[in-house]
Amino acid sequence: MWNRRTAGHPAALLTIIIWGTTFISTKVLLTDFRPVEILFFRFVMGFAALFLVCPHRMKGVGRRQELTFVLAGLCGICLYYLLENIALTYTMASNVGVIISVAPFFTAILSRLFLKSEGKLRANFFIGFVVAMAGVAAFVWACYSILTRKISSFGCPVILTTRRTFFYGILFMVPALFLFDFKMGLERFADMTHLLNILYLGLGASALCFVTWNLAVKVLGAVRTSVYIYMVPIITVVTSVLVLNEPVTWVSVMGTVLAVAGLFLSEYSGKGSGNSE
């Protein structure tokens, strides 16, 4: 029977399918855009889209709650995507997709530390991590997942909380604009390839997917939702080969296999321990 909990799974799956292909769009744009430029354009577009969909103001937010939004914007919008985009300038899209698959491990650890209701960690979660890749961006995303779970307890509409997080993320980007020599250069979007890719990132991967992801975290919990990230390498490796003609390296193959193993082990642990969230 369809209920709120089952609704969280398709929301997370849709999000991961789209996010797994965003590395490709970003890689294409990096030929003519700096990482910080892509970051700024996509989230300003995402913020504008969310404002048009729901122009209402969020009321009754206290100082501690506001701080949670500030930290979520810093971690999940500014730092994570800046690190990811910079990484894509130095390595293949498939490699970055594999590295990000370590986020569920960090999410589980932080959930145990800060969200006592998320349940005990079992040995299989640690085994799942051992067979996955590590990266700073993944840890930052894990912090965002925990903050999102906290935000979901505020009882505010998901679109409004996502828009609030976008606002602070964009605010934190401003110093980076000067640091990384940002140029507006809107004429670059006269190229249809550039325009379609930034629309995909701004409207699809940002405005839509952050809402569906935050909804999934609200319904399923931070740990269970983050397990879907293990699917990212599979989607990214396949699309990078088909779209960018990137070679299939032993690193990407092994990383994908290990990420799938991490998914299996984490999910097996969850079924063995019952529903703890």
Q: Which residues contact 101 (CB under 8 A, 6 or more apart)?
A: 132, 133, 138, 229, 230, 232, 233, 255, 259, 262
Average pLDDT for 135-151: 80
- Report residue 252's pLDDT band, with 50, 70 and 90 as the boundaries: low
- The residues, any chain, with a CB within 8 Å of residue 187's CB and separated by 6 or more, are none
Mean pLDDT of 243-253: 67
Q: Is the pLDDT of residue 69 over 90?
A: yes
Chain segment 82-116, per-residue pLDDT in tens: 877 776 666 555 555 555 555 555 565 566 666 55
Specify the pLDDT at position 106.
57
pTM value is 0.73
Nearest to 121 by CA among 266, 258, 225, 222: 266
* Distance, CA of 107 to CA of 115 (rounded, Å): 10
pLDDT at position 113: 60
Looking at every residue in the chain, the average pLDDT score rounds to 77
- The percentage of residues in the chain with a pLDDT greater than 90, rounded to a whole number, is 29
**What token pair was written down for 184?**
């507006």
Residue showing tokens 């354009």? 41
pLDDT at 133 (0 to 100):
38
Residue 81 tokens read as: 């995507």
pLDDT at 157 over 50: yes
| Max mean pLDDT range (18-32, 234-248, 254-268) | 18-32
**pLDDT value of position 273:** 42
Residues 118-129 have pLDDT tens digits of: 555 555 544 444
In the numeric block, which tokens belong to residue 90?
């130095």
Strands (E), 133-220: none
- What is the structure's pLDDT at 221? 82
Residue bearing the bigger pLDDT, 43 or 262: 43
